[in-house]
Protein backbone atom coordinates (compact mmCIF):
# COMPACT_ATOMS: atom_id res chain seq x y z
CA UNK A 1 0.00 0.00 0.00
CA UNK A 2 1.30 3.45 -0.98
CA UNK A 3 1.98 5.80 1.87
CA UNK A 4 -0.44 8.78 1.39
CA UNK A 5 2.14 11.24 2.69
CA UNK A 6 4.79 9.89 0.33
CA UNK A 7 2.32 9.98 -2.58
CA UNK A 8 1.32 13.58 -1.80
CA UNK A 9 4.93 14.66 -1.47
CA UNK A 10 5.88 13.02 -4.76
CA UNK A 11 2.89 14.61 -6.53
CA UNK A 12 3.72 18.07 -5.24
CA UNK A 13 7.38 17.61 -6.17
CA UNK A 14 6.41 16.44 -9.63
CA UNK A 15 4.07 19.36 -10.18
CA UNK A 16 6.73 21.78 -8.94
CA UNK A 17 9.35 20.30 -11.25
CA UNK A 18 6.96 20.35 -14.22
CA UNK A 19 6.02 23.97 -13.51
CA UNK A 20 9.65 25.02 -13.28
CA UNK A 21 10.46 23.16 -16.49
CA UNK A 22 7.56 24.83 -18.28
CA UNK A 23 8.64 28.27 -17.06
CA UNK A 24 12.19 27.57 -18.19
CA UNK A 25 11.01 26.55 -21.65
CA UNK A 26 8.88 29.68 -21.94
CA UNK A 27 11.86 31.78 -20.87
CA UNK A 28 14.05 30.15 -23.51
CA UNK A 29 11.43 30.65 -26.20
CA UNK A 30 11.25 34.36 -25.32
CA UNK A 31 14.93 34.86 -26.08
CA UNK A 32 16.09 36.14 -29.43
CA UNK A 33 17.69 33.32 -31.47
CA UNK A 34 20.86 35.34 -32.14
CA UNK A 35 23.79 35.57 -29.72
CA UNK A 36 22.52 38.97 -28.56
CA UNK A 37 19.64 37.08 -26.94
CA UNK A 38 21.86 34.45 -25.30
CA UNK A 39 24.42 36.27 -23.20
CA UNK A 40 26.01 33.20 -21.64
CA UNK A 41 26.50 31.59 -25.03
CA UNK A 42 27.78 34.88 -26.45
CA UNK A 43 30.46 35.01 -23.75
CA UNK A 44 31.50 31.42 -24.51
CA UNK A 45 31.73 32.13 -28.22
CA UNK A 46 33.71 35.33 -27.53
CA UNK A 47 36.26 33.32 -25.53
CA UNK A 48 36.60 30.82 -28.38
CA UNK A 49 37.38 33.31 -31.15
CA UNK A 50 41.15 33.36 -31.72
CA UNK A 51 43.09 36.55 -32.17
CA UNK A 52 45.05 36.87 -35.40
CA UNK A 53 46.03 39.59 -37.83
CA UNK A 54 46.21 39.67 -41.60
CA UNK A 55 49.57 40.20 -43.21
CA UNK A 56 50.00 42.84 -45.91
CA UNK A 57 48.86 40.58 -48.72
CA UNK A 58 45.73 39.35 -46.95
CA UNK A 59 44.86 42.88 -45.80
CA UNK A 60 44.25 43.88 -49.41
CA UNK A 61 42.81 40.66 -50.85
CA UNK A 62 40.81 39.01 -48.06
CA UNK A 63 37.95 38.71 -50.55
CA UNK A 64 40.27 37.18 -53.19
CA UNK A 65 39.75 40.10 -55.55
CA UNK A 66 41.46 40.25 -58.96
CA UNK A 67 45.04 41.52 -59.03
CA UNK A 68 43.99 44.76 -60.75
CA UNK A 69 41.57 45.54 -57.88
CA UNK A 70 44.19 44.67 -55.26
CA UNK A 71 46.63 47.04 -56.97
CA UNK A 72 44.02 49.83 -56.88
CA UNK A 73 43.46 49.21 -53.18
CA UNK A 74 47.18 49.37 -52.43
CA UNK A 75 47.53 52.63 -54.32
CA UNK A 76 44.44 54.15 -52.70
CA UNK A 77 45.53 53.11 -49.21
CA UNK A 78 49.01 54.60 -49.72
CA UNK A 79 47.45 57.88 -50.88
CA UNK A 80 45.10 57.91 -47.89
CA UNK A 81 47.98 57.29 -45.46
CA UNK A 82 50.01 60.09 -47.06
CA UNK A 83 47.08 62.48 -46.72
CA UNK A 84 46.58 61.58 -43.05
CA UNK A 85 50.32 61.94 -42.34
CA UNK A 86 50.56 65.38 -43.94
CA UNK A 87 47.26 66.84 -42.72
CA UNK A 88 46.82 65.36 -39.22
CA UNK A 89 50.45 65.47 -38.11
CA UNK A 90 50.17 67.11 -34.69
CA UNK A 91 46.88 65.49 -33.71
CA UNK A 92 48.20 62.03 -34.59
CA UNK A 93 51.53 62.62 -32.83
CA UNK A 94 49.89 63.62 -29.55
CA UNK A 95 47.48 60.69 -29.84
CA UNK A 96 50.38 58.27 -30.26
CA UNK A 97 52.15 59.80 -27.26
CA UNK A 98 49.07 59.83 -25.03
CA UNK A 99 48.00 56.30 -25.98
CA UNK A 100 50.69 54.86 -23.69
CA UNK A 101 48.92 56.30 -20.65
CA UNK A 102 45.25 56.29 -21.70
CA UNK A 103 43.74 52.81 -21.81
CA UNK A 104 40.61 54.12 -23.54
CA UNK A 105 42.69 55.31 -26.50
CA UNK A 106 44.28 51.88 -26.73
CA UNK A 107 40.87 50.22 -26.76
CA UNK A 108 39.15 52.51 -29.26
CA UNK A 109 42.20 52.48 -31.53
CA UNK A 110 42.16 48.69 -31.65
CA UNK A 111 38.43 48.34 -32.29
CA UNK A 112 37.72 50.82 -35.08
CA UNK A 113 37.72 47.99 -37.64
CA UNK A 114 37.38 44.16 -37.62
CA UNK A 115 40.28 42.79 -35.59
CA UNK A 116 41.89 40.91 -38.48
CA UNK A 117 42.65 44.22 -40.23
CA UNK A 118 43.39 46.31 -37.15
CA UNK A 119 47.12 45.75 -36.61
CA UNK A 120 48.15 46.54 -40.19
CA UNK A 121 45.83 49.55 -40.32
CA UNK A 122 47.19 51.00 -37.07
CA UNK A 123 50.78 50.65 -38.29
CA UNK A 124 50.13 52.66 -41.43
CA UNK A 125 47.10 54.94 -40.97
CA UNK A 126 47.69 57.35 -38.11
CA UNK A 127 44.57 58.83 -36.56
CA UNK A 128 44.22 61.82 -34.28
CA UNK A 129 41.94 61.87 -31.26
CA UNK A 130 42.70 65.39 -30.01
CA UNK A 131 40.79 68.56 -30.92
CA UNK A 132 41.27 72.12 -29.71
CA UNK A 133 38.17 74.12 -30.62
CA UNK A 134 34.51 73.91 -31.59
CA UNK A 135 32.17 76.38 -33.23
CA UNK A 136 28.76 76.02 -34.82
CA UNK A 137 28.58 72.48 -36.18
CA UNK A 138 32.36 72.10 -36.53
CA UNK A 139 35.30 70.92 -34.44
CA UNK A 140 38.93 71.81 -35.10
CA UNK A 141 41.91 69.50 -34.58
CA UNK A 142 45.47 70.42 -33.56
CA UNK A 143 46.48 70.92 -37.20
CA UNK A 144 43.73 73.42 -37.93
CA UNK A 145 41.52 71.00 -39.86
CA UNK A 146 37.82 71.67 -39.37
CA UNK A 147 35.33 68.80 -39.42
CA UNK A 148 31.56 68.87 -39.67
CA UNK A 149 30.75 67.10 -36.42
CA UNK A 150 28.71 63.90 -36.67
CA UNK A 151 29.78 62.45 -33.31
CA UNK A 152 27.22 64.35 -31.25
CA UNK A 153 29.65 63.91 -28.34
CA UNK A 154 28.04 60.52 -27.65
CA UNK A 155 24.61 62.13 -27.64
CA UNK A 156 25.37 65.14 -25.42
CA UNK A 157 25.47 67.66 -28.26
CA UNK A 158 21.80 68.26 -28.98
CA UNK A 159 21.82 72.00 -29.66
CA UNK A 160 25.34 72.84 -30.80
CA UNK A 161 28.58 73.35 -28.88
CA UNK A 162 28.18 77.12 -28.66
CA UNK A 163 24.94 76.62 -26.77
CA UNK A 164 26.61 74.40 -24.17
CA UNK A 165 29.46 76.85 -23.74
CA UNK A 166 26.81 79.42 -22.88
CA UNK A 167 25.10 76.99 -20.48
CA UNK A 168 28.34 76.35 -18.64
CA UNK A 169 29.30 80.04 -18.46
CA UNK A 170 25.85 81.30 -17.43
CA UNK A 171 25.35 78.40 -15.02
CA UNK A 172 28.71 79.04 -13.37
CA UNK A 173 27.79 82.70 -12.93
CA UNK A 174 24.56 81.70 -11.16
CA UNK A 175 26.35 79.58 -8.55
CA UNK A 176 29.68 81.37 -8.34
CA UNK A 177 29.00 82.87 -4.93
CA UNK A 178 28.44 79.41 -3.44
CA UNK A 179 31.18 77.59 -5.32
CA UNK A 180 31.73 73.82 -4.96
CA UNK A 181 29.86 73.41 -1.67
CA UNK A 182 28.52 69.84 -1.47
CA UNK A 183 25.96 68.20 0.79
CA UNK A 184 23.68 71.23 0.76
CA UNK A 185 21.75 72.60 -2.20
CA UNK A 186 21.98 75.76 -4.25
CA UNK A 187 18.50 77.25 -4.91
CA UNK A 188 18.77 76.30 -8.61
CA UNK A 189 18.24 72.68 -7.54
CA UNK A 190 14.66 73.42 -6.49
CA UNK A 191 14.02 75.15 -9.79
CA UNK A 192 15.46 72.19 -11.72
CA UNK A 193 13.32 69.72 -9.81
CA UNK A 194 10.13 71.57 -10.67
CA UNK A 195 11.09 71.71 -14.35
CA UNK A 196 11.95 67.99 -14.43
CA UNK A 197 8.65 67.11 -12.76
CA UNK A 198 6.78 69.05 -15.45
CA UNK A 199 8.76 67.50 -18.29
CA UNK A 200 8.74 63.89 -17.06
CA UNK A 201 5.21 63.94 -15.65
CA UNK A 202 6.57 62.18 -12.55
CA UNK A 203 6.64 63.06 -8.87
CA UNK A 204 10.22 63.08 -7.62
CA UNK A 205 13.80 63.50 -8.80
CA UNK A 206 17.23 62.27 -7.73
CA UNK A 207 20.54 63.51 -9.12
CA UNK A 208 23.55 61.38 -10.05
CA UNK A 209 26.89 61.81 -11.80
CA UNK A 210 26.24 59.65 -14.87
CA UNK A 211 23.52 57.88 -16.76
CA UNK A 212 24.90 54.55 -15.61
CA UNK A 213 24.45 55.61 -11.97
CA UNK A 214 20.89 56.77 -12.64
CA UNK A 215 19.97 53.38 -14.15
CA UNK A 216 21.65 51.59 -11.24
CA UNK A 217 19.49 53.54 -8.80
CA UNK A 218 16.33 52.91 -10.83
CA UNK A 219 16.91 49.14 -10.80
CA UNK A 220 17.80 49.15 -7.10
CA UNK A 221 14.62 51.02 -6.20
CA UNK A 222 12.53 48.66 -8.33
CA UNK A 223 13.96 45.66 -6.46
CA UNK A 224 13.53 47.38 -3.11
CA UNK A 225 9.85 48.13 -3.60
CA UNK A 226 8.80 44.94 -5.41
CA UNK A 227 10.85 42.52 -3.32
CA UNK A 228 11.82 40.76 -6.55
CA UNK A 229 15.25 40.06 -7.99
CA UNK A 230 15.34 40.02 -11.76
CA UNK A 231 15.79 42.68 -14.42
CA UNK A 232 14.45 42.26 -17.95
CA UNK A 233 16.47 43.93 -20.67
CA UNK A 234 16.50 43.58 -24.46
CA UNK A 235 19.16 42.23 -26.85
CA UNK A 236 21.74 44.76 -27.90
CA UNK A 237 20.38 47.55 -25.70
CA UNK A 238 22.89 49.71 -23.86
CA UNK A 239 21.73 50.78 -20.40
CA UNK A 240 25.11 51.59 -18.87
CA UNK A 241 28.11 49.41 -18.23
CA UNK A 242 27.36 47.95 -14.79
CA UNK A 243 26.85 44.25 -14.14
CA UNK A 244 23.11 43.50 -14.31
CA UNK A 245 22.27 45.50 -17.43
CA UNK A 246 25.37 44.59 -19.44
CA UNK A 247 25.60 40.81 -18.98
CA UNK A 248 27.25 39.71 -22.23
CA UNK A 249 30.78 40.07 -23.67
CA UNK A 250 32.55 42.95 -21.97
CA UNK A 251 31.39 41.88 -18.52
CA UNK A 252 33.65 39.27 -16.86
CA UNK A 253 30.77 37.98 -14.70
CA UNK A 254 28.01 35.68 -15.87
CA UNK A 255 24.44 37.06 -15.73
CA UNK A 256 22.88 36.42 -12.33
CA UNK A 257 19.62 38.29 -12.03
CA UNK A 258 19.05 39.36 -15.62
CA UNK A 259 16.73 38.05 -18.32
CA UNK A 260 17.57 39.17 -21.85
CA UNK A 261 14.31 38.75 -23.75
CA UNK A 262 13.25 39.37 -27.32
CA UNK A 263 12.18 42.90 -28.21
CA UNK A 264 8.75 43.33 -29.80
CA UNK A 265 7.65 39.72 -29.36
CA UNK A 266 4.55 38.15 -27.72
CA UNK A 267 6.57 35.46 -25.94
CA UNK A 268 8.27 38.18 -23.93
CA UNK A 269 4.88 39.49 -22.87
CA UNK A 270 3.95 35.94 -21.81
CA UNK A 271 7.06 35.66 -19.61
CA UNK A 272 6.31 39.01 -18.01
CA UNK A 273 2.71 37.94 -17.38
CA UNK A 274 3.61 34.63 -15.74
CA UNK A 275 6.87 34.90 -13.80
CA UNK A 276 6.93 36.14 -10.20
CA UNK A 277 10.61 37.14 -9.90
CA UNK A 278 10.71 40.13 -12.29
CA UNK A 279 11.24 43.47 -10.57
CA UNK A 280 11.56 45.72 -13.61
CA UNK A 281 11.80 46.04 -17.37
CA UNK A 282 14.47 48.44 -18.67
CA UNK A 283 13.85 49.94 -22.11
CA UNK A 284 16.27 52.05 -24.13
CA UNK A 285 14.07 53.68 -26.81
CA UNK A 286 17.05 53.87 -29.18
CA UNK A 287 16.37 50.18 -29.86
CA UNK A 288 13.44 51.30 -32.01
CA UNK A 289 16.12 51.90 -34.67
CA UNK A 290 17.57 48.37 -34.48
CA UNK A 291 15.45 46.02 -32.32
CA UNK A 292 17.25 42.93 -30.99
CA UNK A 293 20.60 44.13 -32.32
CA UNK A 294 23.54 45.82 -30.68
CA UNK A 295 24.65 49.36 -31.40
CA UNK A 296 26.21 49.17 -34.88
CA UNK A 297 29.95 49.68 -34.97
CA UNK A 298 32.54 49.14 -37.68
CA UNK A 299 34.58 46.74 -35.53
CA UNK A 300 32.05 44.04 -36.44
CA UNK A 301 31.44 45.16 -40.01
CA UNK A 302 32.71 42.05 -41.80
CA UNK A 303 29.95 42.09 -44.45
CA UNK A 304 26.92 44.16 -45.48
CA UNK A 305 24.25 42.60 -43.28
CA UNK A 306 23.82 45.59 -40.96
CA UNK A 307 20.13 46.48 -40.74
CA UNK A 308 18.23 49.38 -39.20
CA UNK A 309 14.96 51.24 -39.57
CA UNK A 310 12.15 52.62 -37.41
CA UNK A 311 8.52 51.56 -37.45
CA UNK A 312 7.19 54.23 -35.11
CA UNK A 313 3.69 52.81 -34.90
CA UNK A 314 4.86 49.26 -34.18
CA UNK A 315 7.34 50.36 -31.49
CA UNK A 316 4.78 52.63 -29.83
CA UNK A 317 2.35 49.71 -29.79
CA UNK A 318 5.04 47.49 -28.24
CA UNK A 319 5.72 50.00 -25.47
CA UNK A 320 1.99 50.22 -24.81
CA UNK A 321 1.86 46.42 -24.46
CA UNK A 322 4.80 46.50 -22.06
CA UNK A 323 3.06 49.20 -20.05
CA UNK A 324 -0.11 47.11 -19.85
CA UNK A 325 1.55 43.89 -18.68
CA UNK A 326 3.86 45.71 -16.24
CA UNK A 327 0.89 47.45 -14.65
CA UNK A 328 -1.05 44.19 -14.37
CA UNK A 329 1.88 42.33 -12.81
CA UNK A 330 3.29 45.05 -10.55
CA UNK A 331 6.51 45.23 -12.59
CA UNK A 332 8.32 48.57 -12.68
CA UNK A 333 8.69 49.97 -16.22
CA UNK A 334 11.94 51.93 -16.54
CA UNK A 335 12.52 54.09 -19.61
CA UNK A 336 16.23 54.76 -20.08
CA UNK A 337 16.33 58.08 -21.90
CA UNK A 338 19.96 58.87 -21.12
CA UNK A 339 20.87 58.74 -24.82
CA UNK A 340 17.75 59.83 -26.68
CA UNK A 341 16.92 62.31 -23.93
CA UNK A 342 15.28 65.36 -25.44
CA UNK A 343 16.35 64.56 -28.99
CA UNK A 344 12.91 63.25 -30.00
CA UNK A 345 10.55 65.65 -28.22
CA UNK A 346 10.47 68.07 -25.27
CA UNK A 347 8.87 65.33 -23.20
CA UNK A 348 11.37 62.78 -24.45
CA UNK A 349 10.53 59.28 -25.62
CA UNK A 350 7.50 59.21 -23.31
CA UNK A 351 5.92 61.95 -25.39
CA UNK A 352 7.31 60.69 -28.71
CA UNK A 353 5.98 57.14 -28.34
CA UNK A 354 2.97 57.97 -26.15
CA UNK A 355 3.90 55.86 -23.13
CA UNK A 356 4.17 56.68 -19.42
CA UNK A 357 6.91 54.95 -17.46
CA UNK A 358 7.21 54.43 -13.69
CA UNK A 359 10.82 55.55 -13.61
CA UNK A 360 12.73 57.54 -16.25
CA UNK A 361 16.46 58.14 -16.45
CA UNK A 362 18.07 61.13 -18.15
CA UNK A 363 21.64 62.29 -18.64
CA UNK A 364 24.06 63.54 -21.29
CA UNK A 365 22.53 66.74 -22.76
CA UNK A 366 20.52 67.52 -19.60
CA UNK A 367 23.70 68.60 -17.81
CA UNK A 368 24.11 71.57 -20.11
CA UNK A 369 27.50 70.24 -21.19
CA UNK A 370 28.57 68.89 -17.77
CA UNK A 371 28.37 65.29 -16.45
CA UNK A 372 25.02 64.30 -15.01
CA UNK A 373 22.53 61.52 -14.44
CA UNK A 374 18.94 62.05 -13.32
CA UNK A 375 16.20 59.70 -12.17
CA UNK A 376 12.56 60.80 -12.17
CA UNK A 377 9.88 58.56 -10.73
CA UNK A 378 6.63 57.94 -8.95
CA UNK A 379 6.71 59.00 -5.30
CA UNK A 380 6.03 55.50 -3.99
CA UNK A 381 8.97 54.09 -5.97
CA UNK A 382 11.44 56.88 -5.18
CA UNK A 383 11.16 56.53 -1.41
CA UNK A 384 14.35 55.02 0.02
CA UNK A 385 13.16 54.04 3.49
CA UNK A 386 10.16 52.49 5.27
CA UNK A 387 8.44 54.22 8.16
CA UNK A 388 7.31 50.90 9.61
CA UNK A 389 10.80 49.33 9.29
CA UNK A 390 13.26 52.17 9.75
CA UNK A 391 16.43 50.09 9.33
CA UNK A 392 15.28 48.62 6.01
CA UNK A 393 16.57 51.31 3.65
CA UNK A 394 17.58 51.56 -0.02
CA UNK A 395 20.98 53.21 0.00
CA UNK A 396 22.08 55.67 -2.69
CA UNK A 397 24.69 58.38 -2.29
CA UNK A 398 27.32 60.19 -4.33
CA UNK A 399 29.73 62.92 -3.35
CA UNK A 400 29.16 65.09 -6.41
CA UNK A 401 25.41 64.56 -6.82
CA UNK A 402 23.70 67.94 -7.39
CA UNK A 403 27.05 69.71 -7.73
CA UNK A 404 26.30 73.46 -7.89
CA UNK A 405 28.06 74.02 -11.21
CA UNK A 406 26.23 71.10 -12.84
CA UNK A 407 22.94 72.35 -11.43
CA UNK A 408 23.64 75.83 -12.78
CA UNK A 409 24.35 74.59 -16.31
CA UNK A 410 21.30 72.30 -16.11
CA UNK A 411 19.15 75.23 -15.06
CA UNK A 412 20.13 77.20 -18.16
CA UNK A 413 19.44 74.15 -20.35
CA UNK A 414 16.02 73.49 -18.80
CA UNK A 415 14.90 77.09 -19.17
CA UNK A 416 15.81 76.97 -22.83
CA UNK A 417 14.07 73.61 -23.21
CA UNK A 418 10.79 75.13 -22.04
CA UNK A 419 11.14 78.27 -24.17
CA UNK A 420 9.06 79.12 -27.27
CA UNK A 421 12.28 78.97 -29.32
CA UNK A 422 12.79 75.34 -28.41
CA UNK A 423 9.16 74.49 -29.02
CA UNK A 424 9.48 75.95 -32.51
CA UNK A 425 12.51 73.71 -33.08
CA UNK A 426 10.52 70.64 -32.05
CA UNK A 427 7.62 71.51 -34.35
CA UNK A 428 8.04 69.37 -37.46
CA UNK A 429 11.31 67.88 -36.17
CA UNK A 430 10.63 64.35 -37.41
CA UNK A 431 9.54 65.57 -40.83
CA UNK A 432 12.63 67.79 -41.14
CA UNK A 433 15.06 64.98 -40.43
CA UNK A 434 13.02 62.57 -42.52
CA UNK A 435 13.45 64.88 -45.51
CA UNK A 436 17.16 65.15 -44.85
CA UNK A 437 17.52 61.39 -44.62
CA UNK A 438 15.70 61.03 -47.95
CA UNK A 439 17.95 63.75 -49.44
CA UNK A 440 21.03 61.78 -48.40
CA UNK A 441 19.72 58.50 -49.79
CA UNK A 442 18.70 60.15 -53.06
CA UNK A 443 22.23 61.55 -53.43
CA UNK A 444 23.79 58.14 -52.77
CA UNK A 445 21.48 56.52 -55.30
CA UNK A 446 22.16 59.22 -57.92
CA UNK A 447 25.90 58.58 -57.56
CA UNK A 448 25.28 54.82 -57.83
CA UNK A 449 26.95 54.20 -54.48
CA UNK A 450 26.14 51.04 -52.44
CA UNK A 451 25.37 53.10 -49.35
CA UNK A 452 22.12 54.16 -47.67
CA UNK A 453 21.25 55.61 -44.25
CA UNK A 454 18.52 54.83 -41.74
CA UNK A 455 17.68 56.91 -38.71
CA UNK A 456 15.65 57.73 -35.65
CA UNK A 457 15.18 61.46 -36.10
CA UNK A 458 18.74 62.91 -35.94
CA UNK A 459 20.43 59.61 -34.97
CA UNK A 460 21.57 57.75 -38.09
CA UNK A 461 23.43 54.62 -39.09
CA UNK A 462 25.01 53.81 -42.46
CA UNK A 463 23.84 50.69 -44.31
CA UNK A 464 25.57 48.90 -47.19
CA UNK A 465 23.55 47.21 -49.89
CA UNK A 466 26.19 45.18 -51.75
CA UNK A 467 28.20 42.35 -50.12
CA UNK A 468 31.69 43.52 -49.19
CA UNK A 469 34.40 42.79 -46.64
CA UNK A 470 35.74 46.33 -46.81
CA UNK A 471 32.82 48.57 -45.81
CA UNK A 472 34.76 49.54 -42.69
CA UNK A 473 37.16 51.53 -44.89
CA UNK A 474 34.41 54.06 -45.62
CA UNK A 475 34.88 55.76 -42.26
CA UNK A 476 38.41 56.81 -43.19
CA UNK A 477 37.25 58.37 -46.45
CA UNK A 478 34.52 60.24 -44.60
CA UNK A 479 37.15 61.64 -42.22
CA UNK A 480 39.41 62.42 -45.18
CA UNK A 481 36.59 64.57 -46.58
CA UNK A 482 36.09 66.54 -43.39
CA UNK A 483 33.37 64.65 -41.54
CA UNK A 484 34.02 64.06 -37.85
CA UNK A 485 33.10 60.56 -36.68
CA UNK A 486 33.31 58.79 -33.34
CA UNK A 487 35.39 55.64 -32.92
CA UNK A 488 32.46 53.39 -33.97
CA UNK A 489 32.83 54.80 -37.48
CA UNK A 490 29.87 54.53 -39.81
CA UNK A 491 27.75 52.75 -37.21
CA UNK A 492 26.46 55.89 -35.51
CA UNK A 493 26.06 59.42 -36.85
CA UNK A 494 24.56 61.95 -34.42
CA UNK A 495 23.57 65.34 -35.78
CA UNK A 496 23.05 68.34 -33.53
CA UNK A 497 19.78 70.13 -34.15
CA UNK A 498 21.49 73.39 -35.08
CA UNK A 499 22.44 72.04 -38.52
CA UNK A 500 20.81 74.25 -41.11
CA UNK A 501 19.99 73.17 -44.67
CA UNK A 502 23.15 74.67 -46.16
CA UNK A 503 25.37 72.86 -43.67
CA UNK A 504 23.47 69.63 -44.17
CA UNK A 505 23.84 69.89 -47.94
CA UNK A 506 27.59 70.18 -47.38
CA UNK A 507 27.47 66.95 -45.37
CA UNK A 508 25.74 65.29 -48.32
CA UNK A 509 28.31 66.62 -50.76
CA UNK A 510 31.16 65.28 -48.65
CA UNK A 511 29.43 61.93 -48.26
CA UNK A 512 29.17 61.55 -52.01
CA UNK A 513 32.81 62.62 -52.51
CA UNK A 514 33.95 60.09 -49.90
CA UNK A 515 31.85 57.36 -51.51
CA UNK A 516 33.23 58.06 -54.97
CA UNK A 517 36.80 57.93 -53.63
CA UNK A 518 36.03 54.67 -51.79
CA UNK A 519 34.67 53.12 -54.98
CA UNK A 520 37.56 54.40 -57.07
CA UNK A 521 39.93 52.79 -54.59
CA UNK A 522 38.45 49.36 -55.38
CA UNK A 523 37.13 48.69 -51.90
CA UNK A 524 33.59 48.07 -53.14
CA UNK A 525 34.58 45.61 -55.85
CA UNK A 526 31.63 43.25 -56.34
CA UNK A 527 32.67 39.62 -56.66
CA UNK A 528 30.42 37.56 -58.92
CA UNK A 529 28.06 35.45 -56.83
CA UNK A 530 29.22 36.98 -53.53
CA UNK A 531 26.72 37.15 -50.67
CA UNK A 532 26.78 38.16 -47.02
CA UNK A 533 26.24 34.55 -46.00
CA UNK A 534 29.20 33.47 -48.11
CA UNK A 535 31.38 36.13 -46.48
CA UNK A 536 30.35 35.10 -42.96
CA UNK A 537 31.00 31.44 -43.72
CA UNK A 538 34.41 32.29 -45.11
CA UNK A 539 35.32 34.23 -41.96
CA UNK A 540 34.01 31.39 -39.76
CA UNK A 541 36.12 28.81 -41.62
CA UNK A 542 39.10 31.11 -41.24
CA UNK A 543 38.54 31.41 -37.48
CA UNK A 544 38.11 27.66 -37.04
CA UNK A 545 41.27 26.93 -39.02
CA UNK A 546 43.17 29.42 -36.88
CA UNK A 547 41.81 28.03 -33.62
CA UNK A 548 42.23 24.32 -34.31
CA UNK A 549 45.12 24.22 -36.77
CA UNK A 550 46.98 27.46 -36.08
CA UNK A 551 46.50 28.83 -39.59
CA UNK A 552 43.94 30.94 -41.45
Write out the chain's pLDDT in tens, 552 residues: 566 666 566 566 665 666 667 777 887 788 888 877 888 888 888 888 899 999 999 999 999 999 999 999 999 999 999 999 999 999 999 999 999 999 999 999 999 999 999 999 999 999 999 999 999 999 999 999 999 999 999 999 999 999 999 999 999 999 999 999 999 999 999 999 999 999 999 999 999 999 999 999 999 999 999 999 999 999 999 999 888 888 888 888 887 899 999 999 999 999 999 999 999 999 999 999 999 998 899 999 999 999 999 999 999 999 999 999 999 999 999 999 999 989 999 999 999 999 999 999 999 999 999 999 999 999 999 999 999 999 999 988 888 999 999 999 999 999 999 999 999 999 999 999 999 999 999 999 999 999 999 999 999 999 999 999 999 999 999 999 999 999 999 999 999 999 999 999 999 999 999 999 999 999 999 887 789 999 999 999 999 988 888 766
Q: Rounded to an integer, what is the distance from CA 469 to the centroid of its chain? A: 24
Pick the CATH number of 66-158+428-538 from 3.90.79.10, 3.90.1150.10, 3.40.50.300, 1.10.443.10: 3.90.1150.10
What kind of architecture, by CATH, is found in domain 201-292+311-399? 3-Layer(aba) Sandwich (3.40)
- Cα separation, 417 vs 158, in Å, equals 11
Q: How far is CA 410 from CA 167, 181, 347, 360, 366, in A?
A: 7, 17, 16, 17, 6
pLDDT of residue 2: 67
Contact of 461 with 453, CB cutoff 8 Å: yes
pLDDT of residue 36: 78
Q: Which of 87, 334, 101, 296 is nearest to 217 (CA)?
A: 334
Beta strand ranges found along 325-442 (DSSP E): 332-336, 359-363, 373-377
Q: Rounded to an integer, what is the distance from CA 502 to the centroid of its chain? A: 28
Q: Locate all alpha helices (DSSP H) within 153-245, ordered by sequence.
A: 161-175, 188-200, 211-226
Cα torsion 33, 36, 40, 42 to 10°: value is 100
- Running DSSP on this structure, what letter comes out for residue 513? H
pLDDT of residue 249: 85
Radius of gyration of the chain from its Cα atoms, rounded to whole angstroms: 26
* Beta bridge partners of residue 133, listed in sequence order: 140
- Cα separation, 528 vs 531, in Å, equals 9
Q: Rounded to an integer, what is the distance from CA 413 to the centroid of its chain? A: 23
In the chain, CATH 3.90.1150.10 covers 66-158+428-538
In the chain, CATH 3.40.640.10 covers 201-292+311-399
Contact of 232 with 280, CB cutoff 8 Å: yes
What residues contact 317, with CB distance under 8 A and at least 6 apart? none
CA dihedral for 247, 249, 253, 254, sign (positive or negative): positive
pLDDT of residue 8: 67
- Cα separation, 65 vs 76, in Å, equals 15
Phi and psi torsions of 541, nearest 5°: -60, -40
DSSP 112-131: SS-HHHHHHHHHH------E
User: β-strands 204-208, 146-149: how paired?
Assistant: unpaired
* pTM (2 d.p.): 0.94
Contact of 141 with 95, CB cutoff 8 Å: no
User: β-strands 138-141, 131-135: how paired?
Assistant: antiparallel
Amino acid sequence: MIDPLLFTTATVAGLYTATRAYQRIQLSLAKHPSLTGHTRMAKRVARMIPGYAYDESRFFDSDEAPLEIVARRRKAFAELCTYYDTHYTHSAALTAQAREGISDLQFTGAYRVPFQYSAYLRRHLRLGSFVRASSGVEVEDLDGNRFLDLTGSYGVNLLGYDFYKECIAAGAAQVQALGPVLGQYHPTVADNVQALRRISGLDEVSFHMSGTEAVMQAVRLARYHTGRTHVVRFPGAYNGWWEDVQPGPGNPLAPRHTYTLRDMHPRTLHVLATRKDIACVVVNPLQALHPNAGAPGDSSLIDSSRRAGVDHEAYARWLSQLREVCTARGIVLILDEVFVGFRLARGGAQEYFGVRADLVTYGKTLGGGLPVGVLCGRADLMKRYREERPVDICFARGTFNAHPYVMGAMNVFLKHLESPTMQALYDGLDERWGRRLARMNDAMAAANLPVRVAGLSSIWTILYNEPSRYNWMFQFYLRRHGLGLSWVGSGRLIFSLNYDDVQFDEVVRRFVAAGLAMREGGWWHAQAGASNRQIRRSVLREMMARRFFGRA
